[in-house]
Amino acid sequence: MDIRAKMREADLYRSMGLLKEALDLYESLASGLTDGASADRETLTRRIAEIREEISNRDRETVRKIGAKDLTILRKTLSARGTVPEILESASALKELGLLKEAVAEYQKLFRLNCPPDKVVPEIVACALKIDPPRRVVEELEKFLNENRISGTDGARIRFCTALEMEKRGHGDLAIDLCRGALEMDPKNSVIKEKLRSLKARLSPGSRYDHLLEKGLV
């Protein structure tokens, strides 16, 4: 892969205002770098931080234009809704307004209503990655699951769905972490076992897990 060409592609997305697309591509490139590509890693890390700040500023500007009073009324109105379709609609509205943390919290309510994780997790990950780096997103997920005592097959399914989303975005190491956690909660799940095996087989040379495998630590 010509990383410089891909970086120029991401730069083009950014110049066109397609910040999410640029961020996804930058992060995918960063996750595939080997330990020796320090200059490229430094450049990508800087650009990822800059774009996150641009997205955050854009979202804050959107919220500012709404007005504090209207925003308070909106939050109260949305939080009073309790069925799955209502919560999905509320979360989507919050997301459109740039209230991403609130949208994540709204989507998380669906886990208590037995809503299928594959319907909820992609939305949560998409929102969360706009405000936090991937590893922080996973840490917040683990915190949520622990605080709400979601374990067993339910916890495994949520972790597995999150692993799939991280894999799509090029964060293979995080996907492996999540699959391992899911397998601990549901040890007999053959689908998770196969995905974990597949992820390990496709590790990039020089990645964190590749190094651990060489040392026989995973």
- The mean pLDDT value for 28-48 works out to 80
Rounded distance between C-alpha atoms, residue 135 and residue 124, angstroms: 14
pLDDT in tens, 46-62: 899 898 888 877 776 66
Rounded distance between C-alpha atoms, residue 135 and residue 176, angstroms: 12
Question: Residue 93 corresponds to which tokens in the numbers above?
Answer: 């509205």
Question: Residue 213 corresponds to which tokens in the numbers above?
Answer: 């495998």
Return the number of other C-beta atoms located less than 10 Å from residue 172's C-beta: 22
Rounded distance between C-alpha atoms, residue 183 and residue 86, angstroms: 32
**What is the full DSSP assignment across 125-156?**
HHHHTTTS-HHHHHHHHHHHHHHTT--HHHHH
pLDDT at 217: 47
- The mean pLDDT value for 176-183 works out to 96
Most confident of 39-43, 95-99, 190-194: 190-194
Tokens 């500023």 belong to which residue? 57
pLDDT at 44: 87
Structural class in CATH, domain 82-217: mainly alpha
Rounded distance between C-alpha atoms, residue 117 and residue 130, angstroms: 20
Rounded distance between C-alpha atoms, residue 180 and residue 159, angstroms: 9
Where along the chain do its domains lie? 1-79, 82-217
Return the number of other C-beta atoms located less than 10 Å from residue 127's C-beta: 23
Q: Distance from CA of residue 103 to its chain's centroid?
A: 14
pLDDT in tens, 8-34: 888 888 888 888 888 888 888 888 777
